[in-house]
Amino acid sequence: VPANLAGIPGISIPAGMSSSNLPIGMQLLGPAMGEETLLRAAFTFEQARPDCQLVAPTGEVSL
């Protein structure tokens, strides 16, 4: 069941690259109303990965 249908928060984060140089993602799920804990866990994971580099968007970004 997708997280949004189950009523729980979920987040996908980059988790590295495959041996074929393709990106690998990881999905974290949390308890209902657990967004803050989930975001902290995702941030901690990203900070612990020295090879995880953020790429700034190019071009115009609109919200």
Query: Each residue of 25-44: pLDDT tens digit?
Result: 999 999 999 999 999 999 99
Domain-embedded: residue 33: yes
Provide the mean pLDDT of the chain: 85
Binning pLDDT at 50, 70 and 90, where does residue 9 land? very high
Instruction: Assess if residue 53 is contained within a domain.
Output: no
Distance separating alpha carbons of residues 19 and 3, to the nearest angstrom: 29
Is 10 domain-assigned? yes
Is 43 part of a structural domain of the chain?
Answer: yes
Residue count (the chain): 63
Residue for token digits 């700034």? 56
pLDDT at 56: 63
Indicate if the pLDDT at residue 5 is higher than 80: yes
Cα gap 48→50, rounded to integer Å: 6
Helix (H, G, I), strand (E, B) or coil at 54: coil
The total domain count for the chain is 1
Domain of 30? Answer: 3-48
- Give phi and psi for 10, each to the nearest 5: -145, 150
As a whole number of angstroms, the distance between CA 40 and CA 36 comes to: 6
Q: Is residue 58 part of a domain?
A: no
